[in-house]
Chains A and B, each alone.
Chain A
Amino acid sequence: MNEAAPMTLPAAPIDSRGILARLRESRLLLGMVFLFPAAVILLVFLTYPLGLGIWLGFTDTQIGRPGIFIGLENYEDLWTDSVFWLAVFNTILYTVVASVVKFALGLWLALILNERLPFKAFFRAIVLLPWVVPTVLSAIAFWWIYDAQFSIVSWSLIRLGIIDRPINFLGDPTLARASVIAANIWRGIPFVAITLLAGLQTISPSLYEAATLDGANGWQRFRHVTLPMLTPIIAVVMTFSVLFTFTDFQLIYVLTRGGPVNATHLMATLSFQRAIPGGHLGEGAAIAVAMIPFLLAAILFSYFGMQRRRWQQGGRD
């Protein structure tokens, strides 16, 4: 506001001009005009639901009954709720394991795709496939793959004589956790791989040649050229990947609905479970709000992670 004031001042004494002319002079007003549509969209579709969610978390609203403000009661309840804490644990486990594996496999795939290989375009298209298929569709596919009786994995292993009865993928708590994580990894790899590939392609080949002449072997070229040049993109990709994974809902909901015995409940699915089928909108909202600090932490982490790259910012010392 302060900065804009001097710009509008010169226009003020000349009142004889039309309002349109003055509008054109004023950067502040003009800026507001242009900002308006975007601001409305943000307010209606982002700020309002978010605000409503936060507000609901402080009430005991149920479906069909408006609630009253009850302060932190929902959060106090959650604090002693073992299912909630299990969901927090599950979410963190799910996010950490899936993200780490997605990063490792995605980077590996990107490095392979960046090499000269035959049918490059074909392979790149294939890699994108899991990302293009709607989540629910791929979740249903995985549902079949993990089916207690008709699982193709079990069938193959039995045929090969490695096991003698079907694996109960989604029935056993540990197996169920591993299964949903695997499905999430499958789905998330393309995003990581393709984005990192785009990053790899911006690295000038002459840097590798210079490093080769400087005596670097393959690993040293990766360590001293590829990795540092890729760090900024890795930071962005992994931030998004972590956010997507942390808030994942569809895969879990289709595959396990949080079961068995809540072993695969994530915060997002638990929040939905409590709010809609369970009817306790307030409590569900409180769980959702509890995700915010984690997400903020992830964003801040990558923000500061990216800030330290001084070499990218030219000009100043």
Chain B
Amino acid sequence: MSALFPFHGGLKTVRHKTESNQTRIWTAMLPPRLTVPLRQHIGAIAKPLVQPGDRVLKGQMIGQPDGYISAAIHAPTSGIVSAVDPQPVAHPSGLADLCVTIESDGEDRWINRQPVNYPHLHPSELRNVIRNAGVVGLGGAAFPSAVKLNPSGRSERLDTLILNGAECEPWITCDDRLMRERAADIVAGLQIMAYLLGPYEVMIGIEDDKPEAIAAMSAACVRTGYMVCPIPTRYPSGSVKQLVRLLTGKEIPVDGLPVDVGVQCFNVATAYTVHRAVNFGEPVISRIITVTGQVHGPGNFEVLIGTPFAALIAQCGGYREGVERLILGGPMMGFALHSDDAPVTKAANCLLAVGPAELAPELPVLPCIRCGACMDVCPADLLPQQLYWHARAKEFDQARDCHLFSCIECGCCSVVCPSHIPLVQYYRYAKNEIWALEKEKQRAEQARQRHQARMERLEREKQEREAKLRQKAPRVEVVASSGKQEG
């Protein structure tokens, strides 16, 4: 195994893994109603293919990818579409987004599934299978995987294909359980990815606090030539930039992508869904999610996309006393849900109910004392204190100069700040404002051009009218005089 290349900063956080990783993955119950958002991925929202009243089968495509960077959405069960309208979704804003609501008929009847024998397919056809199965990155970002599996446009072969099984956030164990129980399936998916990308080497990064997962994956990788690499348990080792550096020593450039350094990186759960899509013809209609924290029976559940969080919580025996916050994702980067009636999406890896025991008391915010504690833990090698200074003063240009957009919002800085400043929120705010300003600028430019075009058109029309007027001048006079006569 190769040597590791540690990254700067990071944190040793609390783990809280054993609450949920001691039992096998449970299959969640089929809820009577599923609300399937049409935007579960990065990119354009899928175009609905169904209307209220339509009967759908499990696995039937109900949302079509709209453009290259988009993903297909499928019916998680059979039933009748009762609505295609905006419903509350899991989003930090708590706003609604377009969803397809399906009333389950309880039969869970599959559409005709067509596994493919992939070595006989042209890579582009195989990519289409994966695209049509709605495969997206299940680690959280939900980027359409077919796009990342396309090596075209690159002359050289890919150096390294990395499978991310780090799972560095506290509490989350869904990838851990998946690797322990379905290692062979993951490796089967990985083989498909390797077939498409043709990398020189394949590495699987797993944090060393998951010895069982490492053992299972190593066993499954025998005779494949894939390397299972235990990595030190240090948040955020599962962030793409940090993991790539850790395993290969390469740094993804600022504003760059992994492919820029000859690396491509996928989550273990994504590999699993690729396997299901290709070898079983099953689109992504379910995922494994950790439900943990202040619930009676924490664990991992294989749950249909569109299942309301409340139904999932009910299956774990409900909340314990004093739950204050429901977090989607981990405690470091996850966001607090407004309510538990939003549905499970492809990107939802953990549902964490927390109460006063887990949440530090909210401490009063003091001025920054420039102690540099934030800088010492920043895995992006930023100066969070300077960024904060500029974001707070709304000096967006300076914030950008200080590489605001290199911030991965990992939250390490906020955790250690002795002044308890919500640093990450300042960075998010600044990023959002910069994007909005940019959009605004584009809009203004568009309006300026349209206005100018209109002015030119009016001018042209005026000239044309005048020209016509000059041509017809004598007649105009006649008309005018006849008018006078009438008057």
Q: Do A and B bind each other?
A: no
